[in-house]
């Protein structure tokens, strides 16, 4: 049995206070707090090791390499993949751009996505070819039947998010993967927001690519994972070359690429961040992603039920009947003002703005929103505190 206290004591930032009270961190969709073992691992690497990996025959290099590759094994287990299918990157955005570069997209090609997407799952496609977003249905989910109509012989990829960073809706990506397989189009899943909330099984999904970031799953910034099936990874062109990605370089500049995943990891990687990710994954393994999902499901129910009771304040897709993670975005408030007041007067950390989701906001005729995003170390008491604060402030912050 895991209590809120047990969860919270593993995250040192939660010990900070505001006017004698513990701060309330409701900005987990931007980045999660860092687990104490992650912090220790990163500090330990820099203070006790600091060596490069895969290139030295001394024990510091071997020690760092061993931990680095242990993380690859752990990430493979986490995603139900093989280690050859796990590429370490600098984050979800970098991972998506590797695929966008590797597909060698041309004028006339198109990529099908949705208006629910984070900018990082729009711009890499739209900057290279035609981007074709589907609308959302009444539950705030991408319209899969519209996607079927948009996909044609020039469609090179479907790129869809698993969990919205604005509304928290969980997209049933298995359905999208089945559609992709039916139509013979590869599919990429943006799992940045999903990775720390729900189980990710790439084999069950049937996806070709999946991208995630360490910093949204209790790990450090500057590190991410690109999963690609062996076939899908080998089909990509390698556009970023350098040391580590090749087995031999000839005098005239020709080279022999290493096999996957190494060909996509040129240069010195974010070693410390990968070592930190290893500890974040270890933590998730230790308590079980199911435990986190269950706690967050309870938080989500409380969050939506409670905030449905604030007269005069509305949140996106409040009538949606599909599963969600505990993220809520209030629509008829001045997000920048609300965020500042909640932070300075109440010690509640939230996020105001468009959350890197302009198309979603524009589809709802909004320019911004106030987002509250929770995780398993948050509590129902904190939800009540935020509710009470917004109840007091609603006449001031309402747009």
Please report, to the nearest 10 degrees, the dihedral formed by the alpha carbons of residues 310, 394, 398, 334 taken in order.
Answer: -110
Q: Is 129 a catalytic residue?
A: no
Contacts of 261 (CB under 8 A, 6+ apart): 72, 83, 84, 85, 86, 87, 88, 233
* CA nearest to 10, candidates 382, 300, 213, 280: 280
Q: Considering Cα of 257, then 258, then 260, then 262, what sign does the dihedral take?
A: negative
Please report, to the nearest 10 degrees, the dihedral formed by the alpha carbons of residues 146, 147, 151, 156 taken in order.
Answer: 160
- Beta pairing partners, 110: 130, 155
CA distance 264 to 242: 10
CA distance 138 to 230: 37
CA distance 259 to 350: 44
CA distance 331 to 323: 20
- Residue 278: how many CB atoms within 10 A of its CB? 24
Q: Report in angstroms the alpha-carbon separations of 283 from 74, 89, 295.
A: 11, 21, 15
CA distance 156 to 131: 11
Copy the structure tokens of residue 224: 């991410």
Give me the residue label for tokens 């974010």.
270
H/E element, 225: strand 224-228
Q: Which of 129, 177, 207, 356 is catalytic?
A: 356
- Beta pairing partners, 149: none
Q: Could you give the residue numbers annotated as active site?
A: 356
């Amino acid at each position: 049995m895991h209590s809120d206290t047990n969860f919270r004591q593993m995250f040192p930032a939660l010990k900070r206070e505001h006017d004698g009270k513990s701060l309330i961190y409701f900005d987990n969709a931007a980045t999660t707090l860092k687990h104490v073992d992650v912090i220790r691992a990163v500090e330990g690497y820099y203070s006790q090791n600091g060596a490069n990996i895969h290139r030295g025959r001394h024990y510091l290099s071997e020690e760092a390499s061993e931990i680095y590759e242990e993380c690859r094994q752990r990430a493979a287990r986490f995603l139900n993949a093989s280690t050859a299918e796990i590429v370490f990157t600098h984050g979800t955005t970098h991972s998506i751009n590797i695929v966008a570069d590797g597909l060698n997209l041309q004028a006339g090609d198109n990529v099908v996505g949705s208006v629910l997407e984070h900018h990082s799952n729009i711009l890499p496609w739209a900057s290279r070819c035609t981007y074709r977003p589907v609308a959302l249905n009444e539950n705030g989910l991408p319209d899969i039947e519209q996607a079927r109509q948009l996909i044609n012989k020039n469609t090179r990829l479907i790129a869809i998010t698993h969990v919205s960073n604005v509304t928290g809706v969980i997209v049933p990506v298995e359905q999208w993967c089945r559609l992709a397989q039916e139509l013979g189009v590869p599919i990429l899943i943006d799992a940045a927001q999903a990775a720390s909330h729900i189980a990710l099984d790439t084999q069950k999904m049937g996806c070709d690519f999946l991208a995630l970031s360490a910093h949204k799953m209790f790990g450090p910034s500057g590190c991410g994972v690109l999963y690609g099936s062996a076939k899908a990874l080998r089909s990509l062109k390698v556009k970023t070359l350098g040391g580590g990605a090749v087995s031999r370089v000839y005098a005239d500049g020709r080279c022999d690429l290493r096999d996957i995943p190494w060909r996509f990891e040129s240069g010195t990687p974010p070693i410390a961040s990968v070592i930190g990710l290893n500890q974040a994954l270890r933590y998730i393994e230790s308590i079980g992603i199911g435990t986190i999902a269950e706690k967050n499901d309870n938080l989500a129910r409380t969050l939506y039920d409670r905030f449905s009771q604030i007269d005069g304040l509305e949140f996106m897709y409040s009538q949606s009947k599909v599963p969600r993670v505990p993220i809520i975005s209030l629509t008829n408030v001045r997000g920048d003002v609300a965020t500042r007041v909640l932070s300075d007067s109440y010690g509640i950390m939230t996020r105001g703005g468009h959350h890197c989701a302009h198309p979603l906001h524009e589809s709802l005729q909004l320019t911004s929103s106030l987002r509250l995003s929770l995780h398993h170390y948050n509590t129902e008491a904190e939800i009540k505190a935020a509710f009470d604060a917004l109840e007091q402030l609603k006449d001031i912050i309402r747009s």
